[in-house]
Chains A and B, each alone.
Chain A
Amino acid sequence: MRLIIRDDPKAVAYYTANYVRQRINEFKPTRKRPFVLGLPTGSTPVEVYWHLVDYYKRGEVSFRHVITFSMDEYVGLPRSHPESYCAFMHRHLYDHINLRPENVHMLDGNADDLAAECQRYEDKIKEVGGIELFLGGIGPDGHIAFNEPGSSLESVTRVKTLAYETVLANARFFGGDVNKVPKLALTVGVGTVRAAREVLLIITGAHKAVALAKCIEEGVNHMWTVSVVQLHPSAMIVCDEDATLELHVKTVRYFKSIEQVQEQLIGRQHIGLKGSISKLASSDPADSFGSGVLPPAAATASKDSNTSDASQSSADEDASDADDDDDDVSSQPFSDDEDRNGDTATAATPAASTPSPANILADSSSDINGVRVDDSLTPAAPVGNPF
């Protein structure tokens, strides 16, 4: 499991969206081989979707051959209700991109036979070849989708009664009236998420800290269903500093150091998007791992520059905590990360960006504890990692 720690929810959203974009582009989906994406609702995904919409509008990603499956939907809420998950997804994502309507799969909370609807959904997932990447969040009680504590870790898509705590948490979307909140929901199962080829969880905020700690530092347990990520061969959690508040200091340090080591000793261009390593650092530009991503600076220079590289970024980060995303993050999402968001999977700016080992070490301004970690796509888990 990789744990990517970023400063705040904005940086988390940006990292996640960028990762999704790169995964799709690298995959090069076609009609016969579409990219199947699982998608959540919630306030953190909103910002991820905002970035994805922006990427689409700038021509940096296409959803033409992307198929989506949503995680859950309330039972009994009309689709036109502004709080239905259909309305949410449409409002924040589907209305703005070139996703084909026939490629979008939502659970139908108004179906006559809910069990059959759940089975249909599972069948559909199999029919399209399984989910390539499942994005998700975590509840304060450690649940994924609506798989509340006590859900079987092998569960499939089914109807769930919502925990009272969840109902209370959702009341704010229904005018604060607990009685108006739906009590039942259709949800993908824990097993459904596990069956995806990759799982990416977005976890932000201090109120999620206990759940995160339970899920990654303790055992796999049906009372904290997200803990199944420990058993998934390709899981990643992107979280903010606040969400790490209940983790052991050494856990946080360890994961931060992973990213550091990768950058310094391996070199970002040798690390695949999902963590595979092609070789150790070399100064040969032709060696860079760059399959099928969009040309870099063709996009606007002001945002996610694919051309940035380790040395350039670390130089910018110059040693101080104050030199942080935070200042810019409140306004333009892209201006801050322009330098920092490196892209391991790009063939871009070869000569300028390829660091030699000497350069990397010399330019690194982050200390070994990863106080200033480059907000790059460097995955945290190298091949053969001891986890």
Chain B
Amino acid sequence: MTTSSSSGGIITQFYNCVVLKDHRLVDDYVYVQDGKIIDPAKMFFDERRAPDVRIDCGGGIVAPGYIDVQINGAFGYDFSNDTDIIDEAVDNVSKGLLMQGCTAYCPTTVSSRPEVYKQVLDHLGPRAGSVERGAEVLGAHVEGPFISPQKKGAHELATLRTAEGGLEAFDECYGLDRLRRNVAYVTMAPEVSGVLESIPRLIAATGIRIAAGHSNATTAEATQALAGGASMITHLFNAMHPFHQRDPGVIGLLGASGTTRPFYGIICDGVHVHPHSVMIAYRAHPDGACLVTDAMAAQSLPNGVYKLGEMDVDVHDGNVYIQGTNTIAGAVITLAECVRNFARFTGASKVEALESATLHPAQMLGITGRKGVLAHGADADIIVLDHELNVQRIFVAGKEATRENVVYKNKL
């Protein structure tokens, strides 16, 4: 077989599969070259090429790789606490997540002191995915510290702050330049002093996106945040004012008519949010659902007690509590499990469940040109699943990730 004189590396064709395309699962092929998804007609007529490698998907589903926009750590590593070994943390978590079918993610930091941000943010910035380095890092998700003390969850009270100084306060805490270079989005509480006015200015100064979370805000305050440019809600239902019929708080944004409603992260481990609540939220605003794990360092660690940063946590069969309390410290679920749970909780179709972990997070981050879709020109981050939505094969930047070529370790 001769290849033409045209450019480009080997061409891989995924066949014998149904492809997630145009909001449907269709009998089709996916073609990959040089880490990107390519247009087969151009390949055929312009480049005069035929596929070099053909991958039989066994009749399974071909979908974009999963995208997790809220994850604090895993495999014993924590992005907020392992400041001295932050590169090692990113390395191992990236590879570990890749092997779970997550091909891109936002490493998340909890409320921390300014020194911590100075130390870690530059190491949590965008980094391309590969078999050698693991899942793509899309930029950090900085959760806090401009959040409500009443809704801090497992965050440390002493780190929380207010923003009376406006942009100055954010600069002093994170460094605006550091935000611009490394951060995908920041979670803050609209009712915290100085936050509402700062939202549009922060967006203009740094280009980051803003999420409302860990907040007691009224619906009126939350709506103002939305108007100011906030586009995401962080782990809907958790660490926010519960739904009340006369003031639904941040949750109420799912019912805001006459305006573009925000995306919302939602944790589908069955623990953080009751399955019925997931269904109610989904049916209220299906296009906004972004499945997140909010996983913490104990993810993929066996049951036990661990010292994670300043906290002692108790990992027990999928539940993680701050030792001695009823406060959930975080989740230990994988995104692939979240997708399966979500489909079960809500009755969503396979397409809808898959899109909630791929297309919607990519839309929230504004990166649908290259992530979260199997479109010509997009990055070839691909997963092959069976029809029960179990991940069977994983490809990042066009290359298959296997146990042999993706090697990582637990910290502990």
Contact = CB atoms under 8 A, between A and B. Distances in A.
Contacts of A80: 39, 41-42
Interface string B21-51: 0000000010000000001111111111110
Contacts of B49: 101
Interface in B31-85: 39-50
A102 B45 contact: no
Nearest to A99: B50
Interface string B162-195: 0000000000000000000000000000000000
Given A95-B40, A102-B4, A90 B48 contact: no
Given A80-B39, A101-B45, A101-B49, 5 more contacts: A79-B46, A87-B41, A90-B40, A104-B45, A106-B45
Nearest to B4: A102
Name the 5 nearest CB pairs between A and B, nearest first: A101-B48, A90-B41, A101-B44, A102-B48, A95-B40
A86 B41 contact: yes
Contacts of B2: 102
A100 B45 CA distance: 11
B5 to A, nearest CB: 11
B41 A79 contact: yes
A79 B50 contact: no
A95 B44 contact: yes
B40 A86 contact: no
Contacts of A101: 4, 43-45, 47-50
Interface in A320-378: none
Interface residues of A, number: 13
Interface in A57-83: 79-80
Interface residues of B, number: 15
A94 interface: yes
Interface in B1-28: 2, 4
B337 to A, nearest CB: 35
17 contacts: A79-B41, A86-B45, A87-B41, A90-B40, A90-B41, A90-B44, A90-B45, A95-B29, A95-B40, A95-B44, A100-B50, A101-B43, A101-B50, A102-B2, A102-B4, A102-B48, A106-B45
A80 B39 CA distance: 10
The listed residue with most B CB atoms (<10 A of its CB), out of A87, A94, A106, is A94
Q: Which residue, of A98, A102, A106, has the highest number of chain B Cβ atoms within 10 A?
A: A102
Contacts, number: 34
Contacts of A90: 40-41, 44-45
Contacts of B43: 101
Give the most central of B39, B43, B45, B49: most A CB within 10 Å. Answer: B45
B19 to A, nearest CB: 13
A66 to B, nearest CB: 13
B140 to A, nearest CB: 38
Nearest to B44: A101
A310 B92 CA distance: 69
A160 to B, nearest CB: 22
Contacts of B4: 101-102
Contacts of A94: 44
Interface string A85-116: 01100100011001011101010000000000
Of the candidates A86, A90, A101, A106, the one having the most CB atoms from chain B within 10 angstroms of its own CB is: A101
Nearest to A79: B45
Contacts of A95: 29, 40-41, 44
A101 B46 CA distance: 9
A159 to B, nearest CB: 20
Interface string B137-160: 000000000000000000000000
Nearest to A91: B41
Contacts of B50: 98, 100-101
Contacts of B42: 80
A79 B49 CA distance: 16
B93 to A, nearest CB: 39
Nearest to A84: B41
A98 B42 CA distance: 16
A110 to B, nearest CB: 11
Nearest to A87: B41
Contacts of B40: 90, 95
Nearest to B16: A57
B322 to A, nearest CB: 55
Nearest to B50: A101
Contacts of A79: 41, 45-46
Nearest to B39: A80
Interface string A193-226: 0000000000000000000000000000000000
A104 B46 CA distance: 11
A95 B43 CA distance: 10
A87 B44 CA distance: 11
Contacts of B48: 101-102
A79 B47 CA distance: 13
Nearest to B48: A101
A344 B56 CA distance: 35
A166 B41 CA distance: 26
Contacts of B41: 79-80, 86-87, 90, 95
Contacts of B46: 79
